[in-house]
Chains A and B, each alone.
Chain A
């Protein structure tokens, strides 16, 4: 659409003339990021378009068939064109390099103006949100954030907008899980095992579910599916768009009424379980430590029925004031209030105010009056699950005086919960709670004290940190990528049933653990993640970290097996001849020989035993298992988690690798570039040519129309062709040596640019790059602030990167810096400050 113009020197001269004539005006400009641009179309846009755009995008024969001549002020009709203009100008794609360029401030102002105008024009049409999308965060030029700013730019002390965050599905399920299940304490000797404070993981099939009573099930009838059917579980109710990238800006989500009504239903199940335990879902006879004693009740085919389960008598769930309320002989104000206050704090993470407490006690009272003690208490207490603060975390700074910039610092419960939320899914621990209650959560030092304390204590689980790495790397989608059975079979892995998907969910848990181990050492974290030779390996990984054989190697393997079998048969015959009527030794009870996978040279991943965090038993004997080994990857074939199957498959599709998505990841998450949205006129399809390499089929993206964007992705993704789409290393493809070359083009750091032989060389180069580190810091900022960075955040980002560098690449130092920054601590109630792109 926006083709570079190789033409027309006269256009260039005209533009230069215009620029020179305006030069004095441009130089005198000043710019304060975040301030509204108080200029109308003719004053701001008309001039800019005329100076920099109309030459090529005029009425006659416009470049890319796009004329901006009569574009006019922003309105809902031309909003999509203006959005493209905004993207191209912000990304400095336009004007093209061989044309005259606007001054930095001029560009920033024009970009801000478009955002303001689009926001205004689309206010009643669903709003304009593109600039708030984390995938557009890199639209803000990296060098402006980390380099020196041109004269005339005056930064404001930064802050984030006052807001409410809807809790994530993981946070929500973890809160609910706390009410009915007791998780084991942290065991320093087995640091990988799932313990209290870790997130509730997805189950064997990748679904996030809350399980009832599985910690007490000691026997069941039937196999995997029967178990999964007979246990009680409820899926996560809150929804998240599952896709690549950061998932949880406050802007993203609300709770719709369907979700709210489902939460109400689940609430009553939870309260009943809190009160009665398994008796709320089972018959009394099912609770025994001696399953044989109820053999008469368990006769016949009960598979898949709740009555096929046997629960131990040991009480596992937490016994809380809610339990006390149901156990009490009579209900009185004291036990009602205790139950209400307990549940309120368990769900909102703060104690209720007197008014809140009284209101819910009254609701419980009224319900009991209508329905009697048990049903009434269940219904009344359910209401607390729908309290605003049980589903949204407020950062509203309703008390506190604004400073001279209109910013108010979070304090007390809001600050304490913000700090808590930065790291944890559980309620504040005793120390943090005491600090909040005692008025010691009001200053930057208070925050630092608590953050450092929590970071230093491994027994305080911090699932939010791992969540960041999942969202940053995006290695956790592998099990959700639906594979074509035949195409999967051709990679060399088991394509039967759900074997591959199980392997991928296991691989996600393994990568989680590897990241945690690197975080535990806390030295050069990003570089080590990118270049580690360590692998946390499960039972399938010798195949997945193996090498896909060439056709010749496969043939040799088949021949070797046949020869071995033939030799064994000859030897056996000889033995039988020599020992007539005798049974050959070792034949009886000999284990069945495993089937040889001729398609793969398996890796030999050995090492000390470790553990990975997996879900509760969800699929009987087929449930996920925590056992792993810490091994070393085959030399020369792998380097860091971008070469692990979990990441590679997460960035693949049903039939093949996804070089574009992989390249985009490198471009956005390490180089700091950005890709504009695909124009709707583009039919983004690669040709379907069986037995042709992906690289060859991607020739269509090299057409000039596409290449402007694809040059930023394809040469970064194609080096990963050294792996097939199940993540196995390979040297050949369709009987030819696989082409793994690529290139970093116009990264912004000339030392990075240039050709690479394969993914390993690409990763090595990027891992040494300061720019990649800074881009990583930008993503950490986005995750923990819940918004895109603005130019006003430049000091925060620079300080965070400096802290990371000064402490040898310490994630902890980076976090302390970010969480004690103005962007984290201050909120602004006005909408205009702090939340525009530039």
Chain B
């Protein structure tokens, strides 16, 4: 009943989840293999909206090359990477109810709201299944105020593996480091890792011993429970076997892990961990929730004293606060690209096989009906996407169409994502992927 693939996916969705399988670990790291080019996708979801004026070069009203355009101040850090950039304006998410955040609906392309459980899986999860397999197919990190990240180190607001199945995001870099690199760590993290490993091993033994006397039909069902622990525990061994490899990529633990001055210290370290999970090949899909899908968040480390909801009540264009936040985002995007550029893969680098999707879980602003949902793509996923250009989408196309394009590029032959024909009649003028973005 359960397939190996499903099992791996199931494991990936848990906070602190890890997995293992009787598959050679090297094979599961995203190093080139004869049959499948490793590919990876990063979603960067900034909360409070993404105003198109903060990304579309002045005077640019029609689709065209970005070659001669000058990027606006908030994203000026991306100027050197313009040839990889694709700014998309004019998608909509009116069906997602994005005012105050569409929550799961932002990546799911369906109605979401505060306290509303996901009604289907989200695009990041679906891509993690479709892309060439890695040890940990999907990793979610969330950035927020330091108080929120400490009090609620894991929350689930953006990603889901199915209806009613939220995926937790990590916000405490110490926990995430322990999960990814506990085996090669030292000191306190090592002690925590070993103690947890020991308990989980004993839990596995107990679970297995209580499954021996079950009737045959239940053994298979209960077996999945036991198998889960075997895989969690097995992952440590497999990560150990590639520890030399991982050491090359694991970030150095500094005092800001345990003693952050500002929340941005943790934001930066979470990003480092996310990048390392991609560059080491542990994962193929990274979701970054800056503001964790909600309408609060803080960036005091950037010198922004105001926090939370008020940030969403201000116009973003020409606003010094939002310029700082967007510039910070842009620098993060550059860090991702620089790191992936530095890792050879095939005849090029990892970045050649990567796509970054930058947008907001709030469409264009905090109080919005979602009529415009700007998106930036960076990279081209091994030539699958156009880059170096601006696209003004013609007609009414939902964000689901972009997600369909992503799945197409990942090899899935689908025409729609999370949108039935009835909905499509109302919300989509066309069918299939967003042709403007596919190469």
Give me the interface of A with B, judged by CB distance under 8 Å.
Answer: 126-127, 161-164, 203-209, 222, 225-226, 228-230, 232, 235-236, 239-242, 250-251, 253-262, 264-265, 281-282, 301-307, 359, 363, 366-367, 370-371, 375-376, 379-380, 382-383, 386-389, 391-392, 396, 398, 480, 482, 484, 497-498, 501, 618-619, 653-655, 685, 688, 829, 831
Task: Give Cα A829–Cα B218 distance, bound, in whole angstroms.
Answer: 11
Q: Can you name the residue of chain A whose Cβ is closest to the Cβ of B145?
A: A305
Taking CB atoms, residues of chain A closer than 8 Å to B217 are 161, 163, 251, 831
Residue of A204, A257, A307, A497 with most partner-chain B CB within 10 A: A257
Q: Is the CB of A391 within 8 A of B225?
A: yes
Task: Give Cα A304–Cα B157 distance, bound, in whole angstroms.
Answer: 15
- Interface digits, B175-217 against A, CB 8 Å rule (1 contact, 0 not)? 0000000000000000110111011101100110011011111
Q: Is the CB of A370 within 8 A of B198?
A: yes
Known: A258-B10, A260-B225, A261-B17. A205 touches B115 (CB 8 A): yes
- Name the distance in Å between A361's Cβ and chain B's nearest Cβ: 12
Q: B423 in the interface, Cβ–Cβ < 8 Å?
A: yes
Q: Is the CB of B165 within 8 A of A363?
A: no
Q: Can you name the residue of chain A whose Cβ is closest to the Cβ of B150?
A: A306
Q: Is the CB of B213 within 8 A of A398?
A: yes
Q: Is the CB of B222 within 8 A of A254?
A: yes
Task: Give Cα A204–Cα B192 distance, bound, in whole angstroms.
Answer: 37
Known: A304-B295, A305-B296. A654 touches B224 (CB 8 A): no
- Name the distance in Å between B21's Cβ and chain A's nearest Cβ: 11
Known: A126-B1, A388-B222, A398-B213. A262 touches B296 (CB 8 A): no
Q: Is the CB of A204 within 8 A of B115?
A: yes
Q: Can you name the residue of chain A whose Cβ is closest to the Cβ of B223?
A: A254
Q: Can you name the residue of chain A whose Cβ is closest to the Cβ of B11?
A: A257
The 3 A-B residue pairs with the shortest CB-CB distance in the complex, in nearest-first order? A257-B228, A205-B115, A258-B14
Q: Can you sample 14 A-B contacts with CB below 8 Å? A: A206-B115, A229-B296, A255-B228, A257-B225, A260-B232, A264-B16, A303-B296, A363-B199, A366-B198, A367-B195, A387-B206, A655-B422, A831-B215, A831-B216
- Name the distance in Å between B283's Cβ and chain A's nearest Cβ: 15
- Name the distance in Å between A206's Cβ and chain B's nearest Cβ: 6
Q: Is the CB of B163 within 8 A of A303?
A: no
Taking CB atoms, residues of chain A closer than 8 Å to B216 are 831
Task: Give Cα A255–Cα B229 distance, bound, in whole angstroms.
Answer: 11
Task: Give Cα A383–Cα B191 distance, bound, in whole angstroms.
Answer: 17
Known: A239-B162, A239-B165, A262-B168. 5 other contacts (CB 8 A): A261-B232, A304-B296, A392-B222, A396-B214, A396-B215
Give me the interface of B with A, judged by CB distance under 8 Å.
Answer: 1, 7, 10-19, 97, 99-100, 110-111, 113-117, 119, 145, 147-148, 151-152, 154, 156, 161-166, 168, 191-192, 194-196, 198-200, 202-203, 206-207, 210-211, 213-218, 221-222, 224-225, 227-229, 231-232, 294-296, 306-310, 421-423, 425-426
Known: A163-B215, A367-B199, A391-B225. A242 touches B308 (CB 8 A): no
Q: Is the CB of B224 within 8 A of A256?
A: yes
Q: Is the CB of A256 within 8 A of B10?
A: yes
Taking CB atoms, residues of chain A closer than 8 Å to B17 are 257-258, 261
Q: Is the CB of A382 within 8 A of B218?
A: no
Q: Can you name the residue of chain B whose Cβ is closest to the Cβ of A479?
A: B116
Q: Is the CB of A685 within 8 A of B421?
A: yes
Task: Give Cα A384–Cα B24 distance, bound, in whole angstroms.
Answer: 33
Taking CB atoms, residues of chain B closer than 8 Å to A685 are 421-422
Q: Is the CB of B147 within 8 A of A363?
A: no
Task: Give Cα A367–Cα B307 distance, bound, in whole angstroms.
Answer: 39
Taking CB atoms, residues of chain A closer than 8 Å to B211 are 388
Q: Is the CB of B148 within 8 A of A619?
A: no
Q: Is the CB of A371 within 8 A of B192?
A: yes
Q: Is the CB of B308 within 8 A of A618?
A: no
Tell which of B15, B192, B309, B422 touches A261, judged by Cβ atoms closer than 8 Å: B15
Residue of A229, A281, A379, A829 with most partner-chain B CB within 10 A: A229
- Name the distance in Å between B96's Cβ and chain A's nearest Cβ: 10
Task: Give Cα A317–Cα B166 distance, bound, in whole angstroms.
Answer: 28
Task: Give Cα A347–Cα B39 distance, bound, in whole angstroms.
Answer: 43
- Name the distance in Å between B11's Cβ and chain A's nearest Cβ: 5
Task: Give Cα A379–Cα B193 distance, bound, in whole angstroms.
Answer: 11
